[in-house]
Structure 1
């Protein structure tokens, strides 16, 4: 069998045990690992068309898979000004002013990554930002992608002049006199502005997505569980062009109000796709976010908010989960607050009891939950899909951040319980939720290990919830494979397994937590095809 890729002079790391395999070389053919052995034996398998790489002692691991990201919608969302580094209103105003001055007359200003903590004690709204947005149609996504700050001109163009009622838990935030403040909460409210804002052409967005995927490959990613089913044709087009640099499992959304036909269509889509992408699962939302006051908590937050589910009728959500379960479709439910997580687990338990089959469901985010909820994940076989860098970058150990203040001391003290869930027997998968947080997998794994901001400027938030180096590695390799029912073909370096490979300059298990994010990625391969190679790797 002709080989496509041969890697020599390497250290092959087994994420199951944390040890190195006895072999030093690997050959791939037809997208799979065809042989493991010594350099001489594997080198002899190379043919005229084989890519042969001497890794000079670099470490090969099964390809990193991000457990939760938004590749296509994220590519579009991040085409505006990046505000993620702004820590106060002065830096927000400066960034917006610089972007405004580069606009053509009448053009829209788009931004993303705005952290509500930058507003300090002031309410999030255009009044706090000041005159920089005067006369400019602006739509700025807050970091959580569940809320938007719209300028007065954008509200005017969208015809928004007061509160409205929505079929889902969305809100146009207004002041005491009923005038919009510019803050829009959740999809239905944000969509009013999106409907009148200009959008990139399909070609522009396709090129932007390809660019993002190349950058992801350079960071060591070989795959991702994509939590948005928008523009499925993009995946087919990128694959046709040879620019689909990652392997994707895609979970299209099921929103409140989905009728029997909508659910049937989601079932029909399962398994469709191409060589490197497949529709697999359905994404649902049980709540919004704590920072916005749209999470679903068992007790209200300090503002009396976060008291309702995203589905106006939570029972209908339970019915949909049951319908999908009976069809053998795995669900991935966005559930941040304790009440949302509890209800999602209740729905899975009911589906398992009545559905008569095994389906690997998952819950996304799980930001604050009590002990009894933690214990249920393993018993129900529900994957805990978490994003530790959200804790690292957006919350604080002293609980002075917006997220912690809203929750209060008790609930903020049980933030992002990655270790507790792991030790309770749950399968923990970690990821970035990009574009909510940066996607480099080594940065996410480092955050899971040290629980501090990536610049290490603050003490760890909940250090007892840190994962070990081996656990963090498994949460990006072995566990995503299991969650996807692919444990017999992915997540290990073994003959017959996918040749999705990440090559690092050093063993990630031996690198200090605070230095992990800086380990160079030497090479990335998907299905035996090199998608990234460092300039000095021959």
Structure 2
């Protein structure tokens, strides 16, 4: 072979391929893996310009892929004060009182459990800020917001509104808005009034985000939107220098979509750069259990979550079939059992596409739906931290209380899907949950937050093995993207997307692995992250 550009040496290399000899060396030529061998082979491989990276007692794996993220939408969703650590109304009031007062007060990551089962209203905002300050807080699921009375006034919201989706302005018994806005169309009434971010600041924030993701071990990710300035931002970043990760985008298809809207999505499939491309379309068939907007076969304990996000689900089905007939793989957010069943029914009659269709989140799912994923070749895409961060083993959380004990007891069925032969891709859903894959890999095995041995695991029977969890970010993710023949494994001829950890993800205790250093991240054969302790 030609002299490689890069050789990486590590005590353990997990190709995630068929069983073979132990390797301690990997060569890269022209962005492709050109050889696997041992340290003794390097003498024969190296050339005058070969870079040798010795990692010592490290573990090299295929590059990690985030199955579900919102890099551009997340810039909007993570504006203002971080409220993700708030757990009581008193803490919320204190956090808001310290927020900068330059016009609008914004915040994100607010957990509905903060309200302790009481109605979610703007009362804490008024207590913290007074009646005259406009405020907009995004709840952690990004499917709802809490706004102040002044914000409602500025938006002209005085009572209920009718939308062409499952959105709503929550009102009290007298018909007065409480400040709680459910789903995107209702949220947009106020969000549209927020001051625009400076474009240069947005570009810098996105660049910083992508560097931090690469430093956590990601070599690629799936972006579940392509709205607003996404195209401009990614083109600008790539013009300024190579992106540190690969990205696949799926533009939104919303209810009341038109033929022109579908034509636009088809046209967007042609957009691409060196390390990004549009490849798919994103739908939502329902909302969230926490917000009472999921689509369940039976109402939740509040009498809610009984309707789809698309008022006429047949229109959703028609749109999916239209795009699939043109080769576009579809991605559908489906959380409730009725929603999941409808998506599976839709995909039963949909044309197959080169990249498999996929369903996201899959929270409340009865056993009879499990075998249909393998039968239909549909990817199941899940985010373990949705369970471990926002539900509790004793079912005292808002999500479990709304579902009721029986349905909460058969949810987040990661292990059941794998054992039924389904393809299971794992991801973060940033900024809904933190993006660090080390903690997500740990949570998938522990069924509780990494580093929190004092917390009881939620549905421990759904825990993944260490290998299953790693496959969810590598081999399963590659097949889900239609790339299983060129990435996701460490094999000659495959793309040189690599991640090196200070601990072995297959043998280290999960709590310890969650804190393991990421020593090296390589994309296309380019070193995009190198820890300080790794010599250049």
TM-score (norm 2): 0.96
Q: 1:266 maps to which residue?
A: 265
Paired with 1:4 and 1:207, the residues of 2 have a C-alpha distance of 31
Q: 1:103 maps to which residue?
A: 101
Q: Do the aligned partners of 2:164 and 2:311 also contact (CA within 8 Å) in 1?
A: yes
Paired with 1:239 and 1:49, the residues of 2 have a C-alpha distance of 26
Q: 1:482 maps to which residue?
A: 479
Q: 1:4 maps to which residue?
A: 5
Considering only aligned residues, what root-mean-square deviation do their CA atoms show, in Å? Answer: 1.7
Deviations 1:482-502 (A, max 9, x none): 011100111000111111111
| Cα offset, 1:288, TM superposition | 0.3
Q: Are residues 76 and 49 of structure 1, via their aligned partners in 2, closer, same or farther at CA, if it must alter by over 3 Å?
A: farther
Q: Do the aligned partners of 2:328 and 2:353 also contact (CA within 8 Å) in 1?
A: no
Q: Which runs of 5+ in 2 are unaligned?
A: none
Paired with 2:11 and 2:524, the residues of 1 have a C-alpha distance of 19
Q: Which runs of 5+ in 1 are unaligned?
A: none
Deviations 1:249-280 (A, max 9, x none): 11111111111222122122224201211111
Q: 2:459 maps to which residue?
A: 462
Q: How does 1:233-272 map onto structure 2 within 5 Å? A: 233-242=232-241, 244-272=243-271
Deviates more, 1:3-12 or 1:168-177: 3-12
Paired with 2:241 and 2:21, the residues of 1 have a C-alpha distance of 32
1:145 aligns with 2:146: no
1:397 aligns with 2:396: no
Q: Do the aligned partners of 1:248 and 1:276 also contact (CA within 8 Å) in 2?
A: yes
| Cα offset, 1:335, TM superposition | 0.2
Q: Secondary structure of 2:98's match?
A: helix
Q: Are residues 16 and 41 of structure 1, via their aligned partners in 2, closer, same or farther at CA, if it must alter by over 3 Å?
A: closer
Deviations 1:72-125 (A, max 9, x none): 1113322311111112122222211111xx323xx2111110000011032111
Paired with 1:292 and 1:455, the residues of 2 have a C-alpha distance of 28
Q: Do the aligned partners of 1:14 and 1:21 also contact (CA within 8 Å) in 2?
A: no
Q: Do the aligned partners of 1:16 and 1:474 also contact (CA within 8 Å) in 2?
A: no
Q: 2:38 maps to which residue?
A: 38
| Cα offset, 1:129, TM superposition | 4.4
* Selected match of 2:527 from 512, 518, 530: 530
Q: Secondary structure of 2:61's match?
A: strand
Paired with 2:20 and 2:40, the residues of 1 have a C-alpha distance of 19
Paired with 1:226 and 1:9, the residues of 2 have a C-alpha distance of 31
Deviations 1:140-168 (A, max 9, x none): 10000000111112112211121111111
| Cα offset, 1:204, TM superposition | 1.0
Deviates more, 1:87-96 or 1:162-171: 87-96
Number of residue pairs the alignment of both structures matches: 530
Q: 1:90 maps to which residue?
A: 90
Paired with 1:356 and 1:65, the residues of 2 have a C-alpha distance of 23
Paired with 1:64 and 1:218, the residues of 2 have a C-alpha distance of 11
Paired with 2:323 and 2:345, the residues of 1 have a C-alpha distance of 15
TM-score (norm 1): 0.95
Q: 1:517 maps to which residue?
A: 514
Paired with 1:132 and 1:30, the residues of 2 have a C-alpha distance of 58
Deviations 1:390-431 (A, max 9, x none): 000000111110000001111100120001111111101111
Deviates more, 1:49-58 or 1:68-77: 49-58
Paired with 1:51 and 1:247, the residues of 2 have a C-alpha distance of 23
Paired with 1:23 and 1:418, the residues of 2 have a C-alpha distance of 31
Deviations 1:341-390 (A, max 9, x none): 00000000011xxx376651100000011111112111111111001110
Q: 1:188 maps to which residue?
A: 185
Q: 1:491 maps to which residue?
A: 488
Paired with 1:20 and 1:7, the residues of 2 have a C-alpha distance of 19
Q: 1:170 maps to which residue?
A: 167
Paired with 2:467 and 2:455, the residues of 1 have a C-alpha distance of 24
Q: Are residues 3 and 199 of structure 1, via their aligned partners in 2, closer, same or farther at CA, if it must alter by over 3 Å?
A: farther
Q: Secondary structure of 1:253's match?
A: coil
| Cα offset, 1:513, TM superposition | 2.5
Q: 2:336 maps to which residue?
A: 337
Q: Are residues 364 and 162 of structure 1, via their aligned partners in 2, closer, same or farther at CA, if it must alter by over 3 Å?
A: same
* Selected match of 1:199 from 196, 213, 216: 196
| Cα offset, 1:242, TM superposition | 1.7
Q: Do the aligned partners of 1:386 and 1:431 also contact (CA within 8 Å) in 2?
A: yes
Q: Are residues 284 and 91 of structure 1, via their aligned partners in 2, closer, same or farther at CA, if it must alter by over 3 Å?
A: same
| Cα offset, 1:130, TM superposition | 4.5
Q: Do the aligned partners of 2:78 and 2:108 also contact (CA within 8 Å) in 1?
A: yes
1:376 aligns with 2:372: yes
Paired with 1:4 and 1:292, the residues of 2 have a C-alpha distance of 52
Paired with 1:256 and 1:464, the residues of 2 have a C-alpha distance of 37
Deviates more, 1:128-137 or 1:69-78: 128-137
Q: 2:68 maps to which residue?
A: 68
Q: Do the aligned partners of 2:143 and 2:183 also contact (CA within 8 Å) in 1?
A: yes
Q: Do the aligned partners of 1:210 and 1:243 also contact (CA within 8 Å) in 2?
A: no
Paired with 2:46 and 2:366, the residues of 1 have a C-alpha distance of 55
Q: Are residues 474 and 9 of structure 1, via their aligned partners in 2, closer, same or farther at CA, if it must alter by over 3 Å?
A: closer
1:436 aligns with 2:437: no
1:472 aligns with 2:469: yes
Q: Are residues 46 and 80 of structure 1, via their aligned partners in 2, closer, same or farther at CA, if it must alter by over 3 Å?
A: farther
Q: Secondary structure of 1:235's match?
A: helix
Paired with 1:467 and 1:184, the residues of 2 have a C-alpha distance of 36
Deviates more, 1:361-370 or 1:146-155: 146-155
Q: Secondary structure of 1:132's match?
A: helix
Q: Secondary structure of 1:53's match?
A: strand
Q: 2:127 maps to which residue?
A: 131
Q: Are residues 328 and 7 of structure 1, via their aligned partners in 2, closer, same or farther at CA, if it must alter by over 3 Å?
A: same
